Every structure is written in structure tokens, then in C-alpha cells.
Structure 1
Amino acid sequence: MSESPSINYQRIAEAIIYIQANFKNQPSLEEIADQVHLSPYHFQRMFSDWAGVSPKKFMQFLSIEYAKELLQGKEATLFEAAQETGLSGTGRLHDLFVKIEGMTPGEFKNGGERLQIKYSLSETPFGPIIVASTQIGICHLAFFENEAEALIKMKARFPKANYFHELDLVQQSAIQFFRQDWNKVNLIKLHLHGSPFQLKVWDALLKIPMGNLTTYGSIAAELDNSNASRAVGTAIGSNPVAFLIPCHRVIQSGGKLGGYMWGMTRKSALIGWEAAQRIQETKN
């Protein structure tokens, strides 16, 4: 009987924590497998199935030097780099979206009392998620550890909205991204509440190609406000849609990962996993 993606991710997360703490010592496969209480054979197979690459290769993706390599030598702007990536496969999620639809003041007024919100829970390779949608598009997507807390946090965004535990087509399309079924994903619209500046930052994040990284300063520069790195960081930190709006692809200029609302281990896992997918796509 196969194990769920979430259970495997818990073991992967433990391994990532150990790798990050002991990276300079280049731990062996046996040492890492021992930390997650698996045989080296079972761990190698499970990890490779999850990431698409070996634990040793994944270690390289987690290093600061790898991050610096991605950041250095970029003469093109973020938007030019995104356009050069092309539209096929995993290259550029932004082209699979219609647009970010900002909520009107009336929709958001009085805690969203006019909104009808459907939500569902699902497992992903990075742990369970809660995803919610309005008639227009996805309004919330978050990783969680505790289901009750996840529901409370979601409903706190729109305390007077009407909620229905129901999986719709918009949510299904979003979940397909975690299943690597990008070619069959319907166009997704995001229905978000945010200031004009926040919406611009979130839109800029959508233009970062999968498997690439950029910095807070680069995002600020693209928005013609090179002194707004801190404001950009705040806007990124309030991103209401995990993964689809890829705030995990933004790191510090020196190569350090910076913060992440859903945990630094998960951010490391997302970056490493996307790097592995990019390598596989190049081979294909």
C-alpha cells in the first residue's frame, strides 16, 4: 500500500532539516536515511520518487552557492527572463492565469458578507493544503499542519462570508499544479483583496519562471521603486495564495532564503523540487 504524499513529505522535511544543519559535512546517504528511520535503499527510492533527483543532487539545490548561481549573471530583467522561458510545460505559470482580479470595496466590505466561498482540503507533495474560491477565482490557498487552525485562519480573512465545504472546478485546476499535470490545467483566475501595491507585487511574482529565483530588490526595481525592498517584503509576506503566487522564489540578495509564511523547511523543499523539475524538463 502506497503512502500518502503528506506522510512522505514529513520524512522529506526531516531529511531536509538534517541536510541543512549538516550540509558542510556532506552527510552520506546512510546518515540521512538513519535520521528518518529508513533503510538507505528505501530512503533513496522514496526521495527520488518525490523530488525526481537523488538526495545528493538535491543537496546541491539547497546550498547558498546554487542560489547565488541562479541570481548571478542575469542581464535580462525579470520580465524579459520570464518571456524568454516560453509558454510550454512548467516554464511560466503566469501564462496559465487570466489575471489577478482585485476585489471591489463592496465585495470586501463588512468582512466579505456578500461573498460565497467554497473550500476544500487536499494533500500535496509538500503537505496538506486548504484552498478556497469565489465565483471569480481562487481567493485563498495555504499549507497547514492543523485542520481546525487552517479553517480559523481562512475564515478570519472574510469573517462574514458564507462558506461551503465543496470542491469546485477552479480548485481542482489549482490542485493539478501539485500533481505535475500542467498541460491539462484550465485557466485560473485569482480573486484577491489587497492594496494596489500588493496586487502589483503579487503579479510580479507570477512572472518568475519555475525553477528560477529572484530577490526582493529585483522585484522593487521592476516596479520602478528600487528603494521599496522592505515594502516588497511586507507585500510578499501577506501573499494569500501559496505556491500559485510563488513567493518562495524570492530570496535575499546574498543567497540566503529569507522568510516564508509556511515555514523555511517547506520553502527549501519547494525551491529544490522546482529545480529538479526544471532539470527533468530540460532533459525531455
Structure 2
Amino acid sequence: MSSTLNDLSLRLAGIAGRLLIAAVLTLIAAGSPALVTFIPGIGSLTRLSTSPLGSGPLGVAVMSAVTCVVCAVPTVTALIGLHLLMRTVDRGRRVDLGLRPDRRALAWTAAMVAVAIVILCLTAGVLTLLGLSAPVADPMTALPESARNWVRLPAAISMAFLFAAIPEETIWRGWFYSSAGSTRVAAVLSVLTFTVMHLMSSGGQHGLAQRFVYLIGTIGFATAAMAVREVSGSVWPAIGVHGGMLMAEDLLAHLLGVPRQPSTWVTVGFLWALVGVSVLVWNRWRQRGNGSEASQA
């Protein structure tokens, strides 16, 4: 009995330690681009107003390229950190980040990006029906109109995937989930801890109450990300959920009239949670079907 309790205590301590490590690495990765912009000349190149190259085609091209590089720093930071963790904390354990690309994983990823676009459109419809739709400023208004279309897509992709989705999903749905045993407890802790960390994020919240309402959207898409990670066996579909949601917002929210407000976060969270539950139910149904076929054979 004593041995069992000791084993349980050690296991819980290991999971708690991994939660703390994942949280710290997430914060380090998110803050890493700031260090790059301190390099003389780099910061000025990310803004046309301060670029020594001006606002012409060359200035726009360089700004887009430098912005993509800066946004990639969190991904590089996270991957380096995870490599070190797998060689130290996880030494001797089989930990899979789930980053191995294959046709099935990429198909899941593309499907989740498409679902993200559909969810944003459905959210726009719900808000319109409820009379809660509102004009949203184009995030590219600071740029000359001639430069917006050249910058919009690479900026949206780099911010959504390189800056946020790839590092965060690889840490939480990749490393933590696998390192903590790939269990249901690990999945739930991955979603809940990731969600609570977003109390510190800036997504248009005003006041403490809205910070908690904002978490509804976060826990919704995190649930879907965890579900597709578990069912597909790859972290790329989870990246598709996270990155697809952010990219769709950057590219389409101002066209569809989807503002950053509590009703949006609740609607998005509900729809993503519905996607996650549907994926899990479909997988359970598929497994039962395969099991019954095997028994009949």
C-alpha cells in the first residue's frame, strides 16, 4: 500500500513538474521575438513608418520577410527547448511530439483550417441574427492601400502559425501530452492549464469579467485541438485548429463583422467544443464498428 502511494505521489509530482515546465517554455517562446527586435535595425524594418527603405515595393517586401522571420522565433525557441527536455527530463522515455508529417496528418490539418473558416462564418451569422455584429477595423489600415494585399496573407500565416499555433500546440498537445503519458488526465490537464494561461492574453478583453469569458473561446478550441491530436495521432491537426482559427480571424473578421467581444468568444468556444466532441464520438463509433467487424470475421 505504501509503495503504491509513493508511486502515485511520484507520478503526480512528475506531471505537476511537466505542467510547470510547459507553462514556462510557453512564456519564454512567446516573449522571444522581443529579443530579436532589440537587434539594431531589425525593429525599424518591421514598420513602414520607420523603415529606412521607405514604403515602396522594396520596403514592403523587406517588412514582410522580416516580420515572418521574427514571428518564426517562438517556433524555433520552442523546438530547441523541447529538444533539450527530451534529452534531459524525458531521457529513456518514448516521447513523441507528433510532428512527423504524412498524408493523413496533412489531410486532417487542411480539414481543420477549413472548419475554422466555417466556424468564423457561422459565428458571423449568429451575431447578425442576434444583432451583435459590428464593424471591425481592417488590421492592415496602418499600411498604404497598395501594400495591404501583398502583406495580408504572409502576415496572417506567420502570426497565426509560426508565432502562436506551432510553438504552443507542439508544447501542450505534443510534448506535454506525450511526456505525461498520453492519458485522459494528461489531455484534460493540457486543455485546462493552457486555457488558464490565457487569462494573461490580450484578445480585446475589457475588465476582469471579460478575461474569464474570453476563456470560453480558448477552452473550446483547445478541446478540439486535443481531440484531433488524440484521434489522428499527430499534432499537425491541432496546429490546424489553432492556426486556422487565428488566420481566419485576421483575414476575414473585418469583412464579416465579427468583433472581439464576449458574444464572439462564447459562440466560437461552443462551436469548437462541438467539433471536438463530434470528433471523439465519431472515433468511438468507428472503433466499435471495426471491433464488431473483427469479431464477426
TM-score normalised to structure 1 length: 0.25
Q: In proportion to residue count, which structure has more strand?
A: 1
TM-score normalised to structure 2 length: 0.25
Higher relative contact order (CA 8 A, sep 6+): 2
